[in-house]
Amino acid sequence: MRTGQLIVISGPSGAGKGTVCKQLLREIENLKISVSATTRDPREGEVNGINYHFTEKEVFLKGIEEDKFLEHAKVYDNYYGTPKKYVMKEIENGNNVLLEIDIQGALQVKEKYPEGVFIFILPPSMQELKNRIVGRGTETAEAIEKRFKSAYEEIKYVEKYDYCVVNDKVELAVERIKAIITAETCKVKHDIEEIISKFREESIC
Amino acid sequence: MRTGQLIVISGPSGAGKGTVCKQLLREIENLKISVSATTRDPREGEVNGINYHFTEKEVFLKGIEEDKFLEHAKVYDNYYGTPKKYVMKEIENGNNVLLEIDIQGALQVKEKYPEGVFIFILPPSMQELKNRIVGRGTETAEAIEKRFKSAYEEIKYVEKYDYCVVNDKVELAVERIKAIITAETCKVKHDIEEIISKFREESIC
């Protein structure tokens, strides 16, 4: 059986990763989302295993030691990470797994699992990126400026990725990512022997 | 401006390359077909520049010497080849060029233009391949057997290609190839500098 693929959707803040991923999950059957583990407390309405795998700090730290995460980060006093186990199980079962993650996280994942499909989401322009960040309306001018400068710096990491998708319109970006997933399935990689032997097994007569 | 791509559609006889290519040309705007040059005489109804570039033998041989072909072959007394000039001009103009070609030709093209996108078309099974070859009804039993054995041998060349598309149903094969073309357009390759500089040129304000 053909194994699935890890589809990493990443890019600067404000590029629209979240919206794109939600739409992908709606449109693609058998696409599984990777759920992060975190040591922070659940907020109201958050469900364990759906929003996060809520994990004790000791268990999380032991997990880091035992190399059980594809990536992890500490944000203030809390840890966040992508558990390897779930992702690998789905891939082995032939399912594609979607991982929405910031650039630092994606680069860690690439170190541990270079076979993944790394897609960088770009806003159509820096001005549009700024509009989007401002448009959220939830941040101070200082926070907006900081987020924007960081996004500006992050653009250079596109070279570490396999694909770059401009999120000019969500439905167009989604179509491009669906095309990438289909194309990756058609790639001649590890399964050459399988293809050849499948054909050779059949009798010529 | 982003350059176009050379899309090489190849595979064993009976895989259905021709049908797939016709449908691709119908469905994709701005996809140009590469027209072969030949030294054979035009048949009734064939138009120079549409069916073939009909070329004098001396001119063709001089073209080979001057490396003017992406590939060429001699079949009986006639030469056939893919002129570089036309393909390169369209690619430079940002258009994709479709080249339908047998495996030997595709491997020659890969030597000269490895940047091309090499797609191997497979029949769904060897039995189906045989049915298709027999179904043409235009050949002797001996010719059919020869063609089938050659197709059987040719399957192994799939490993030289970038993608492998099973032609189970023409419309599905066409969808997969369209996805491959879209994905290739999103690939992070030579245009990284262009992407980064496009974003960097805009002022941060």
Q: What is the largest CA-CA distance in chain B?
A: 75
pLDDT band at B204 (very low <50, low <70, confident <90, very high): very low
- Regarding beta strands B37-38 and B53-54, do their DSSP bridges make them parallel or antiparallel, or are they unpaired? parallel
For helices A170-186 and B170-186, angle between their N-to-C axes, nearest 10 degrees: 110
Secondary structure (3-state) at B97: strand
Q: Do B126 and A202 touch (CB under 8 A)?
A: yes
For helices B17-27 and B170-186, angle between their N-to-C axes, nearest 10 degrees: 60
pLDDT given for residue A55 in this prediction: 97
- CB A152 within 8 Å of CB A125: no
Secondary structure (3-state) at A89: helix
- Name the interface residues of A facing B (CB cutoff 8 Å): 119-120, 122, 125-127, 130, 148-149, 152, 155-156, 158-159, 161-165, 175-176, 178-180, 182-184, 186-188, 192, 195-196, 199-200, 202-204
From chain A, pick out residues whose CB is under 8 angstroms from the CB of B120.
188
H-helix or E-strand spanning residue A104: helix A103-112
H-helix or E-strand spanning residue B184: helix B170-186
What does the pLDDT average to over A45-61?
95
d(CA B107, CA B103) in angstroms, rounded, equals: 6
Instruction: Choose among B3, B34, B16: nearest CA to B98.
Output: B34
Q: Given a cut of 60, is residue A202 above it in pLDDT?
A: no
Of chain B, the percentage scoring pLDDT greater than 90 comes to: 70
| Residue B88 φ/ψ region, left for φ over 0, alpha for ψ in the -120 to 50 degree band, beta for the rest | alpha
Instruction: Name residue B99's beta-bridge partners.
Output: B8
Instruction: Choose among A160, A202, A200, A185: nearest CA to A1.
Output: A185
From chain B, pick out residues whose CB is under 8 angstroms from the CB of A195.
122, 155, 158, 164
List, for residues A4-15, the tens digit of each pLDDT value: 999 999 999 888
- From A202's Cα to the closest Cα of chain B, the distance in A is 7
List, for residues A142-199, the tens digit of each pLDDT value: 888 888 888 888 888 999 999 999 999 999 999 999 999 999 999 997 566 666 666 6
What does the pLDDT average to over B146-173?
91
Q: Which of A119, A188, A192, A197 to mutate to test the interface with B (most CBs of B within 10 A)?
A: A188
CATH code of A6-34+96-201, in short, is: 3.40.50.300
- Regarding beta strands B6-10 and A163-166, do their DSSP bridges make them parallel or antiparallel, or are they unpaired? unpaired
From chain B, pick out residues whose CB is under 8 angstroms from the CB of A11.
none
Q: Do B192 and A159 touch (CB under 8 A)?
A: yes
Secondary structure (3-state) at A187: strand
List, for residues B58-107, the tens digit of each pLDDT value: 999 999 999 999 999 999 999 999 999 999 999 999 999 999 999 999 99
User: How many C-beta atoms surround the C-beta of residue B10 within 10 A?
Assistant: 26
In which residue are the tokens 């078309």 written?
Answer: B121
- CB B153 within 8 Å of CB B103: no
pLDDT given for residue A146 in this prediction: 85
**CA A6, A12, A16 angle in degrees (round to 5)?**
75
Secondary structure (3-state) at B114: coil
Q: Do A183 and B184 touch (CB under 8 A)?
A: yes
- From A164's Cα to the closest Cα of chain B, the distance in A is 5
In which residue are the tokens 């992890």 written?
Answer: A72
From chain A, pick out residues whose CB is under 8 angstroms from the CB of B164.
186-188, 195
- From A48's Cα to the closest Cα of chain B, the distance in A is 35
pLDDT band at B192 (very low <50, low <70, confident <90, very high): low
Residue B66: phi and psi, rounded to 5, are: -90, 15
Q: Given a cut of 80, is residue B205 above it in pLDDT?
A: no
- Which residues touch A30 (CB under 8 Å, ≥6 apart)? A95, A96
- Which residues touch B199 (CB under 8 Å, ≥6 apart)? A122, A125, A126, A152, A155
Nearest CA in chain B to A173: B186
Q: Which of A148, A186, A197, A200 to mutate to test the interface with B (most CBs of B within 10 A)?
A: A186
User: Distance of CA A171 to CAs A27, A165, B188, Å?
Assistant: 11, 12, 21
**CA A168, A169, A173 angle in degrees (round to 5)?**
85
From chain B, pick out residues whose CB is under 8 angstroms from the CB of A182.
175-176, 179-180, 183
Is A17 annotated as a binding-site member?
yes
Q: Which two tokens stand for residue A44?
A: 């109201």
- Which residues touch B174 (CB under 8 Å, ≥6 apart)? B20, B23, B24, B27
- Regarding beta strands B96-100 and B117-122, do their DSSP bridges make them parallel or antiparallel, or are they unpaired? unpaired
- CB A202 within 8 Å of CB B148: no
Enter the ipTM.
0.84
